[in-house]
Amino acid sequence: MTKAVYEEEMDIPIEENSVEKVETKAKRAEQADIGNLPGVGPATAEKLRESGYDTVMSIAVATPGLLVDASGVSETVARKMINAAREVLDMGFESGLDVLQKRQRVNKITTGSKAFDDLMGGGFETGSITECFGEFGSGKTQIGHILAVNVLTDNPEAVAIYIDTENTFRPERITQLAEGRGSDPEDILRRIKVARAYNSDHQLLLADKVEDLISKDGMNVKLVVVDSLTAHFRAEFIGRGTLAERQQKLNKHMHSLLKLADLHNVCVYVTNQVMAKPDQFFGDPTQAIGGHIVAHASTFRVYLRKGKKGSRVAKLIDSPNLVEGECNFMVETEGLKDL
């Protein structure tokens, strides 16, 4: 089915260069049914859905090999499916003006520290993935709690999702932080939806479920925290032989998070550990887990470390539009504070 026919069937009027156009594209991506793609009969559709390819978008961003594995179709058919999915979603070029209009949807979530907000260009952005990596106790989990309280305080209708893989979400801490912001702790806690992920499969499943919370249940999700992004992957895939498999799975996870951020204008905040880099003699001898897959999928990357007198140092490593730099802040009972 061509894009034009598809639009006609879905009865979606597309206005050039409008914010609605961007949002309509997102709607179309949600509503598109994989069963309508060429080469996808009911049996293939079922197999694809079972393997997690339940939206046209998930097929559009897949590789032929993954679809062959998931559904048993030939590689030629898989390529056709991917091309058709891309056509339906109009994944070609958009004008700079479209992108600018999309950027105007972006909100910034304050960290509570002016220095940290300034470093991030005003706060943590919606529509993107921000990764904080650093050693234990560097403040990654604290930032997750703080962003949740701040986004919910500033957006009275919003909901925050917390995918907790290490059992470190603490409602008591949320209460303290909410009081620090002068918000009603019960109201804030009610609007944080916490799920404990027991392994990496569960973690992927939970990330996909967020999509349902938004599209089916109509939740106004503004923030998704994944703390920690990589701990299960690190524990489950041990040894060099498993690296490719781990990276493939992590890639799938990052794509579904990216999709959430992009289609629904959600701020995705992920935390990541570091490991010793044995061959590094100069500079910082640590590197983030997850390698290029995580690094490339994250729009903003922040390296956290402990500073002098109990302070924390955040260093912006990677950003499409901000100057790289550093700032200092304190983690306090009421939230983040400037030095």
The backbone torsions φ and ψ at residue 31, rounded to the nearest 5 degrees and listed phi first, read -85, -25
Which of residues 89 and 288 has its CB atom nearest to ligand GTP in the complex? Answer: 288
Confirm or reject binding of residue 140 to ligand GTP (CB under 6 A): yes
- Report the relative pairing of strands 325-332 and 335-338 from DSSP bridges: antiparallel
Region from 68-76, 180-188, 291-299, 326-334 binding ligand GTP, contact rule CB under 6 A: 326-334
Closest among 198, 196, 208, 130 to 168, alpha carbons compared: 196
Binding residue for Mg ion, selected from 55, 110, 111, 141, defined by CB under 5 A: 141
307 membership: H or E segment, kind and range: none
DSSP secondary structure of 168-188:
---HHHHHHHHHHTT--HHHH
Return the residues of window 149-208 that contact ligand GTP according to CB under 6 A.
176
Look at the chain and count its residues: 339
Confirm or reject binding of residue 290 to ligand GTP (CB under 6 A): no
Region from 91-99, 165-173, 191-199, 294-302 binding Mg ion, contact rule CB under 5 A: 165-173
Confirm or reject binding of residue 136 to ligand GTP (CB under 6 A): yes
Interface map 244-283 toward ligand GTP (x if CB under 6 A):
-----------------------------x----------
Closest among 128, 91, 58, 169 to 269, alpha carbons compared: 128
Which of residues 53 and 162 has its CB atom nearest to Mg ion in the complex? Answer: 162
Confirm or reject binding of residue 230 to ligand GTP (CB under 6 A): no
Which of residues 132 and 214 has its CB atom nearest to ligand GTP in the complex? Answer: 132
Closest among 306, 297, 299 to 329, alpha carbons compared: 306
**What is the rounded distance in angstroms from the CA atom of residue 225 to the CA atom of residue 266?**
10
List of residues contacting ligand GTP (CB under 6 A) = 134, 136-142, 176, 273, 331-333
Q: Using CB under 5 A as the criterion, which residues of the chain lie in contact with Mg ion when the complex forms?
A: 140-141, 168
